[in-house]
Structures are given as structure tokens and as C-alpha cells.
Structure 1
Amino acid sequence: MIKISPSILSCDFANLESECAKMKTAGVDMLHIDVMDGHFVPNLTLGAPIVKCLRPKNDLFFDVHLMISDPLRYIDDFAAAGSDLITFHVESDSDVQATIDKIKSHGIKAALSVKPGTPAEAVLPYLDQLDMVLVMTVEPGFGGQKFMADMLPKISAIRERANALGRDIDIQVDGGIDSATAPLVAAAGANVLVAGSAIFGAPDPIAAVPQLRQAAQAAL
């Protein structure tokens, strides 16, 4: 089943509550919350206090993506703020196993992400413990970048290994996802689509959600 996770990085932050409420009306499956520290990636966005403020206002599943150098240090904060799933990068400075363990200790879901330059093999040893793998289809840090089609074999490799292990985990893609690229990633094995400008930048963001879902579903 295709799941849609709009990236609030592309929303109108002056109207964050209403923008997120609009996504609930659209029937999305989760909200993708990008956290950047200005060090791991060259951009600086929001932190745990924003997640904490948004949590009482919206009961959607919070899909929190930590693009930060030391995620282990902040897991407690983001868990307490109301995250339902925390994704961190295999390329970060934190110990991968310790970070997975810390996320799981809070009773929430754990996911691992790989940048475009990192091979699928980096996440394969952890598939038996993960709820999701995020394959970046652009370089992390900024929205609106062009989709990197050479990431498709990576998606397929992770899906094939997960299937071989009998693990029906989610595979998420983030970067340049729209109605044209959604069928490509779905055919490769991804089932969770992060979209920012394709949804929040659409003339009708609410209508853009089912259109994106249908485009991906048609490839399955």
C-alpha cells in the first residue's frame, strides 16, 4: 500500500497548524518533519520544541527525519515531543546500534536513512530491527531538488533483501517526488513517498495528495 508523507519543510511556516490540518483533511498517512542542524547538512530548520507544540494540534503520525550529526543525543527530546517514528542517518556520528536501541526504548518506530552516495549495503545489517529505510533521492538539506533516477537500483536492492529476510518493512523515498517520479520509485519497491513542493506548492494541495497516491499505485 502506498503511503504519503508530506514534508512540512515546504509548507507555510507562518500557518503551520492550519497547513498540517489541511494534510489531515487530504487523507495523508503521516507528516514528514525534517530536522536539520546546519552541520550534518547545510541548512537549519526546526527542533523538538516545534514538534512538541504541533503534537496537541494534530493526531497524524509524526514521521521525524533527523538530518543531524549526533542523533543519539536528541532521541529522548524528540520522543518526548511526540514523534511516532524517528529516522536518522547511517552517515551520522552516532553509533547506529545504540541509536536504534534508544529509539526502540521509547516504544516508537525506528528508521535508518542513506544519502545518495551511500550504498544499500550500509543499512542491510540492520533490516531485522528497522521499521523503515529511507532512501534519499536528492542530496539532503534543501527542498525542490531534481530527482536522482540512479537511486532506483538502491531501492530495489533494499526491498529484495528485506523480502529475502521475510521483513515487510516500509521503504521511504525523499527528494524530487511528484506524479512523474512516483511510479518509478513504487515500481522499484518504495511504498512511502515524501513530497514537499509537489503537495504544498500545488494549486490545490488537498487534491494533490490522491493524485500522487494514484500515480504511484498504478505502478504496482
Structure 2
Amino acid sequence: MTFDRAIKIAPSILAADFANFGAECAAAEAQGADWIHVDVMDGHFVPNITFGPATCAAIRPHIKGVMDVHLMISPVDAYIDAFAQAGADVLTAHIEAGPHIHRTLQAIRAAGCKAGVALNPGTPASAVEDLMDMVDLVCVMTVNPGFGGQKFIDMTAKIKALRSMIGDRPVHIEIDGGVDPATAPLVAQAGADVLVAGSAVFKGGSVQNPAPYGDNIRAIRAAAEGVWT
């Protein structure tokens, strides 16, 4: 992964066809997705259960680019190696998921992955101020994690604060939750560069009819990039 601040669209497979993940990932990439975002939920840290390392390993051969794995699980550390071995490029852990986030981030990098830290809506930017040299990505949750299709929570002040903290470090700001062409400009203008979108990408299309995925990705990208033109 080479670092750049260009807008990246990362479709969340939480909104894809669960019976056809490999083809869904390939279709999304073919239609312009930059990263593929995998939401891992444990039914403990968040009120939903999705998938684990075996699913990541199964879809990895179908993903040409970045597999961005978001761990909404607690505890985290015991599972880092399994997700790294399953092919994750980025592993993101929640600061709220355990008492020793610094150790967790060290373990993620030691496993050969880029290290991300995620913040729930109720967690301030200041919580990660001392971690900026430990991370490659900060994920700002713009919904309460656990389910797709939720209404966007405005976190632009937090994004701006993080952008200021990051300075010239090669750290991405990722937005997860309620991203669509209406909300993308808000977060891009505040300083975000990786936009996770689930239903806003996969709505209206399918593996047999993937063209709507491309239309949706282009609409989100154009809306986000429009704030810079």
C-alpha cells in the first residue's frame, strides 16, 4: 500500500450478497472500488455477529487491492494473527474494545498489517492524540457500530480535530457509517480520504447486474471530490 490522500471508496461487504461474497468483491473492484471493507462483529462488543478469519481468507483471492478489516470485537489481541494470516492489509481495532490500545496497535504492525484505530461517535478525538505515531489509519464511526443502513451522525468537528493532529503524517482518516453522495462532501471537506459505504454502493445492483455499483461509487466519489474543485 502506497500512501496518498486521494479519495478512496471502500464498499462494505456487510451490504453485499452473503451467499456470493467472492464475486461481489470482484464486481465492486471492477466497478471502481479502491478498497474492500470487511466489518467483523462478535455479538459482544457490538450487537450483531458477522464473520471471522475464515471468511476473510475465502474472499482474499477475489480481492486485487486492499482488504480493509474492521474489528468490532473485544478482546482483539488474540485474533490479530488469524486475521493477518487471512490476508488483511489493514486491521482496525476500536479504542473502546480494550484497556491497552497501544499494545494492540503494536501487535497489528508486528503481524505485518497497517494499523487502524476506530472511534465510536461518543469517543472524542483527544482519545487518540497520543497514538498518532502508532497508526496508519483513524476510523471515525458516523453511526453506532453493529448494523448497516443507519442514519449518518455528523462528526465533522471530530474529523477536523483529527486532521489537525495528524499534520503531515501518512495517516488516513476513514469514515464508516451513513456515507452517501449527500454526506460524502461533509466528511471530505473536514479532511477524510477513505469513505466506507455499504448500502449506498450495493443498492440497485447485483453480481449479475453490477453496473449500478459503478454508478453509485462514481456518485459518491464525485460528491466527495467536488469539495476540492
TM-score where L is the length of structure 1: 0.96
* Residues 69 and 94, structure 1, Cα contact 8 Å, conserved in 2: no
Deviation at 1:59, TM superposition (A): 2.0
- 42-51 or 14-23, which moves further after superposition? 14-23
Give the distance between the partners of 1:48 and 1:139, measured in 2 at CA.
Answer: 23
Give the distance between the partners of 1:99 and 1:43, measured in 2 at CA.
Answer: 23
Confirm whether residue 156 of structure 1 aligns to residue 172 of structure 2: no
* Counterpart for residue 99 of structure 1: 104
* Residues 23 and 62, structure 2, Cα contact 8 Å, conserved in 1: no
* Residues 72 and 94, structure 1, Cα contact 8 Å, conserved in 2: no
Sequence identity percentage: 50
Confirm whether residue 183 of structure 1 aligns to residue 178 of structure 2: no
* Residues 22 and 206, structure 1, Cα contact 8 Å, conserved in 2: no
* Residues 36 and 63, structure 2, Cα contact 8 Å, conserved in 1: no
- Which letter does structure 2 place at the counterpart of 1:198? A
Deviations 1:113-143 (A, max 9, x none): 0000000011111011211000000000000
Give the distance between the partners of 1:131 and 1:61, measured in 2 at CA.
Answer: 14
Aligned length, in residue pairs: 217
User: Structure 1 3/91 Cα, relative in aligned 2: closer, same or farther at 3 Å?
Assistant: same
Confirm whether residue 40 of structure 1 aligns to residue 45 of structure 2: yes
TM-score where L is the length of structure 2: 0.92
* Counterpart for residue 192 of structure 1: 194
Where structure 1 has 5 or more consecutive residues not aligned to the other structure, the ranges are none
Deviations 1:184-217 (A, max 9, x none): 0001111100000000114511221111111100
Confirm whether residue 88 of structure 1 aligns to residue 97 of structure 2: no
Deviation at 1:83, TM superposition (A): 0.3
Spell out the pairing of 1:1-220 with structure 2 (5 A cutoff). Answer: 1-149=6-154, 151-163=155-167, 166-203=168-205, 204-220=212-228
Give the SS at the match of 2:214.
Answer: helix
RMSD: 1.0
- Which letter does structure 2 place at the counterpart of 1:191? D
Where structure 2 has 5 or more consecutive residues not aligned to the other structure, the ranges are 1-5, 206-211
